[in-house]
Homo-oligomer: A and B are copies of this chain.
Amino acid sequence: MDVLHALIRQIEPLDSACMDRVQRRLDNLTKPAGSLAALEMIVKIFAGAQRTVQLRLPLKAVVLMAADHGVAVESVSAYPQHVTEQMIYNFVGGGAGINVLARHANAELVLVDVGVAADLAPELPIKHYKIRKGTCNMRYRPAMSREEALAAIKAGIRIADELSNKVIKMGGRGELGIGNTTASSAITSVLLNKEPALVTGTGAGIDPNTLFHKVNVIKDAIAVNRPNAQDPVEVLAKVGGLEIAALTGLVLACAAKRILVVIDGFISAAAVLAAYRLAPGIQPYLIASHLSTEPGHEAILEAIDVKPRLCLDMRLGEGTGAALGMTLIDAAIKLLNEMATFEEARVTNIER
């Protein structure tokens, strides 16, 4: 835990002086004060993280962590486990949804294997940080050991180091793993102390009977493992997933490095929730993108007090919502940099 605690101590608040200076510039632009609302807030957060008011369009990356889930044998998903591996090849080939949207957002896509249940060829252009081949079936035993969860968290921290060396200033976060909404619902249920039925949805698409079964599997997993809600690492180990723990490490390290974190869907949010419980100081570095149809997603965003900005009812994951959210952030920065002030445009401002 020493690495983790040292990292958490590095997380600092946003620079409020820079935020105030940006707000003054925003108030001088030719628009009613505050009328760009959420876009103004995003620009301020970015200035506070970057410690400058000279904002440029940031280098961006979407990190897609992939791993398998032992609980998939319980038929909680619409898809069989080997789809995780197949989708890795689709990502490498550029044909998945996140490939298209990362290109649209001008963001680099970083693929990471932290636990796919297959031998992936070493020459594949992905980061090979596999901890183990998938988790155990959490319905009957812990998904992984505490040491394995910490190793996955450290893999996420290592990715953040690599991003910061490339001067990336904004990180979207996605995931792939058949069965991972089941783990995310379990994490959310434990950390928010809510009944599993209230934070469990249909994932990639299951019928009501399968949803009922999925809720029961989650109840069993929590009853068998009794994770301590005060210990987020234990929760990630017992009822989480390798890609979720890696995302938790990534968000902690991004905040410590003052890289803004764009939250994607439910799994991404569950990882953020665990990170937030380890270090509430990450909150100012978080930007929500969309609100998915998973009920646990909304519960988490409320708990960490960030508002989703896109209402597209999407439920694809992979970082697709985060990539769309990044385009809004680019738009916000362009508004700050390219709009005329009242004085420049000789437009009458009102006294306030």
Q: With A and B bound together, what is the CA distance between A293 and B36 in angstroms?
A: 11
A125 CB-CB contact with B under 8 Å = no
Q: With A and B bound together, what is the CA distance between A205 and B35 in angstroms?
A: 8
Residues of B within 8 A of A83 (CB): 347-348
A78 CB-CB contact with B under 8 Å = yes
Residues of B within 8 A of A33 (CB): 205
Q: Which listed segment binds B: A107-115, A255-263, A277-285, A313-321?
A: A313-321
A140 CB-CB contact with B under 8 Å = no
Q: Which of A77-114 contact B (CB under 8 A)?
A: 78-80, 82-83, 86-87, 89-90, 93-97, 99-101, 103-104
Residue of B nearest to A307 (CB): B311
Q: With A and B bound together, what is the CA distance between A33 and B202 in angstroms?
A: 12
A5 CB-CB contact with B under 8 Å = no
Residues of B within 8 A of A350 (CB): 78-79
Residues of B within 8 A of A80 (CB): 348
Residues of B within 8 A of A340 (CB): 90, 93-96
Q: With A and B bound together, what is the CA distance between A38 and B312 in angstroms?
A: 5
Q: With A and B bound together, what is the CA distance between A72 and B324 in angstroms?
A: 39
User: Do residues A37 and B313 form an inter-chain contact, with CB atoms below 8 A?
Assistant: yes
Residues of B within 8 A of A335 (CB): 97, 100-101
Report the minimal beta-carbon distance from A311 to chain B, rounded to whole angstroms.
6
A158 CB-CB contact with B under 8 Å = no
Residues of B within 8 A of A225 (CB): none
Q: Which listed segment binds B: A215-223, A266-274, A326-334?
A: A326-334
**A87 interface neighbour in B38, B313, B334, B347, Cβ under 8 Å:** B347
Residues of B within 8 A of A100 (CB): 331, 334-335, 338-339
Report the minimal beta-carbon distance from A148 to chain B, rounded to whole angstroms.
28
**A346 interface neighbour in B34, B89, B330, B331, Cβ under 8 Å:** B89
A39 CB-CB contact with B under 8 Å = yes
User: Do residues A104 and B30 form an inter-chain contact, with CB atoms below 8 A?
Assistant: no
User: Do residues A101 and B314 form an inter-chain contact, with CB atoms below 8 A?
Assistant: no
A204 CB-CB contact with B under 8 Å = yes
User: Do residues A344 and B205 form an inter-chain contact, with CB atoms below 8 A?
Assistant: no
A299 CB-CB contact with B under 8 Å = no
**A90 interface neighbour in B34, B87, B93, B345, Cβ under 8 Å:** B345
Residue of B nearest to A105 (CB): B331
User: Do residues B97 and A31 form an inter-chain contact, with CB atoms below 8 A?
Assistant: yes
Report the minimal beta-carbon distance from A231 to chain B, rounded to whole angstroms.
33
A310 CB-CB contact with B under 8 Å = yes
A309 CB-CB contact with B under 8 Å = yes
User: Do residues A86 and B311 form an inter-chain contact, with CB atoms below 8 A?
Assistant: no
User: Do residues A35 and B345 form an inter-chain contact, with CB atoms below 8 A?
Assistant: no
Besides A103-B334, A104-B331, A310-B310, 6 more A-B contacts (Cβ < 8 Å) are A37-B313, A89-B346, A90-B340, A90-B345, A307-B311, A312-B328
User: Can you sample 6 A-B contacts with CB below 8 Å?
Assistant: A30-B96, A31-B316, A34-B205, A101-B334, A103-B334, A104-B331
